[in-house]
Amino acid sequence: MNLTESWKNYLKRLVESGDIDVDIDVASFETKDNLNSDIWENESLLKPEIADRLYTIAQDFFKSLNLDWVTIKDITLTGSLANYTWSKYSDVDLHIILNFRDVDENLELVREYLRDAGSLWNKTHNITIKGFDVEMYVQDYNEPHHSTGVYSIINDLWVVRASKVSTRIDYPNIEKKAAALMDEINNVYEMYANKEYKNAHEASEKLRDKIRRFRQAGLEKGGAYSVENLTFKILRRNEYLKKLSSLRILSYDSMMTINGG
């Protein structure tokens, strides 16, 4: 089976699956009393075997980029596993910090290249740490990062120490926005299914950018508990972001294909 057929079968499973949950698992967003004990030695130190493995993974990924002239500024663990908001849905958010200007002066081109490289790595690897998926991201040294927990794996210390934050979560609004975005993604699928490949590709590109801006605005305005960020997490849990990514690739391939005969 070739790659295109694999993507098509994957997308078909997503579309036919009834395992779609717009309802919020409230417990998964509650603040915990402690950091995850499988990951952390104590409140101040990442377990050495975890730190060593994450460092190796990050270095191996960086080598694949062929950016020998660029120096890594830091390798960090962030997200809910570097905080008191971890749950069974958490990922190991592993960030490689670079100065994008060291790569090239065209920052937008660099940003797009490194974002796509991280996304491809995440799609083609299935590495877990204590049952949590490792998610790779390349971050610009000058990029604001809106997390209340950032741990330096290189220096073995907190950059931003995790803190327990009590906040009100707008569950009804999250459900409403998640359902609306799922509908938009389903509409893109309908275009693809009807062989409207150009429309499906353009719509998937616009929707991808819309969701990215939507989440970023939420992080800047309200942080990790913002409606926008938690809506993004609901889409990811239900694999709708993977579905959108699949549609973007498949619609482009179908649009560019000339069949024989």
Domain ranges of the chain: 3-25+167-256, 33-160
Instruction: Tell me what pLDDT residue 186 has.
Output: 93
User: Which residue has better confidence, 168 or 205?
Assistant: 205
Residue 195: how many CB atoms within 10 A of its CB?
Answer: 12
Residue 109 has pLDDT above 90, yes or no: yes
| Burial class of residue 183 (count of CB atoms within 10 Å of its CB; 0-12, 13-18, 19+) | exposed
Pick the CATH number of 33-160 from 1.10.3470, 1.10.10, 2.30.29, 3.30.460: 3.30.460
Strand (E) or helix (H) holding 101: helix 100-103
User: Which residue has better confidence, 172 or 152?
Assistant: 152
Instruction: Tell me what pLDDT residue 61 has.
Output: 97
**How far is it, in rounded angstroms, from Cα 205 to Cα 202?**
5
Lowest-confidence pick of 23-37, 147-161, 234-248: 23-37
Identify whether the C-beta of residue 36 lies closer than 8 Å to the C-beta of residue 86.
Answer: yes
Lowest-confidence pick of 6-15, 28-37, 61-70: 6-15
In this predicted model, what pLDDT tens digit does every residue of 43-77 receive, in sequence order? 999 999 999 999 999 999 999 999 999 999 999 99
Q: Which of 18-22, 41-45, 170-174 has the highest mean pLDDT?
A: 41-45
Lowest-confidence pick of 149-158, 181-190, 235-244: 235-244
By residue count, the chain amounts to 261
0.75 surpassed by pTM? no
Average pLDDT for residues 107-118, to the nearest whole number?
Answer: 91
Nearest to 136 by CA among 41, 47, 65, 209: 65
Instruction: Tell me what pLDDT residue 256 has.
Output: 92
Instruction: Tell me what pLDDT residue 19 has.
Output: 44
User: Which residue has better confidence, 7 or 221?
Assistant: 221
User: Which residue has better confidence, 49 or 31?
Assistant: 49
